[in-house]
């Protein structure tokens, strides 16, 4: 039976678990931030007294000497292994409407958080790691606002640049530390 998308009761998986992408060598990724969102997140962090690590994610250039412009940044997890968004309120009893941990900046959360679990717009694809997808399969609908946010990100990141670069974060499980690189690579 197909169900409309809704967060699974008490789930906070997407705010906690970070993945290696595109491979272990690139380290764990953070929440994607557009350049204007980076400034907003830094200011929210300051207001809330929260320490954040924001690294570049995607850069562009017209030659191979290195990225000249950063198209997107990433908000790294607070844990040593790269997990757990620093804005996730894991220490209080406050909970979101579906019972998961609450987000301290919910009303101003990044577009990437608003888009999840939609990760592709045409055709629409949801992240198979989302607990809803794992427990309930493909939803029948109710992902319009997520899709709208994803399309906004895609439009902002459109580029005619000749070279695209990806930043290796250097962050991941301690057992993988010898494999994980830091710095830019051409995509």
153 is a contact residue toward ligand SF4 (CB under 6 A): no
Q: What is the SS3 assignment for 176? A: helix
Query: Per-residue x/- marks for ligand SF4, 6-45, CB under 6 A?
Result: -xx--xxxxx---------------x--------------
C-alpha–C-alpha distance, residues 109 and 172, integer Å: 24
Number of residues that bind ligand SF4 (CB under 6 A): 21
124 is a contact residue toward ligand SF4 (CB under 6 A): no
**Shortest spacing between CB 8 and ligand SF4, in angstroms:** 4
Are the beta carbons of 168 and 27 closer than 8 angstroms?
Answer: yes
Interaction with ligand SF4 in 47-106: which residues (CB under 6 A)? 85, 87-88, 100, 103, 105
Rg of the chain taking only CA atoms, in angstroms = 17
116 is a contact residue toward ligand SF4 (CB under 6 A): yes
Region of 154 on the Ramachandran plot (φ > 0 left; ψ -120 to 50 alpha; else beta): alpha
Q: What is the SS3 assignment for 128? A: coil
Are the beta carbons of 117 and 125 closer than 8 angstroms?
Answer: no
Residues that bind ligand SF4 (CB under 6 A): 7-8, 11-15, 31, 85, 87-88, 100, 103, 105, 109, 113, 116-117, 130-132
């Amino acid at each position: 039976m197909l169900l409309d998308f809704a967060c699974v009761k008490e789930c906070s998986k997407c705010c906690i678990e970070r993945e290696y992408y595109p491979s272990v060598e690139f380290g764990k990724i953070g929440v994607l931030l557009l350049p204007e969102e980076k400034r907003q997140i830094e200011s929210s962090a300051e207001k809330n007294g929260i320490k954040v690590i924001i690294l570049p994610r995607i850069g562009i250039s017209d030659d191979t000497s290195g990225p000249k412009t950063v198209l997107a940044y990433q908000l790294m997890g607070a844990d040593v292994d790269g997990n757990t968004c620093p804005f996730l309120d894991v220490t209080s009893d406050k909970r979101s409407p579906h019972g998961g941990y609450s987000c301290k900046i919910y009303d101003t959360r990044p577009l990437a958080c608003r888009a999840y679990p939609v990760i592709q717009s045409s055709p629409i694809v949801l992240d198979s790691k989302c607990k809803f997808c794992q427990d309930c399969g493909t939803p029948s609908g109710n992902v319009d606002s997520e899709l709208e946010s994803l399309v906004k990100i895609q439009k902002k990141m459109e580029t005619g640049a000749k070279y695209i670069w990806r930043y290796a974060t250097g962050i991941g499980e301690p057992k993988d530390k010898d494999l994980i690189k830091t710095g830019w690579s051409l995509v």
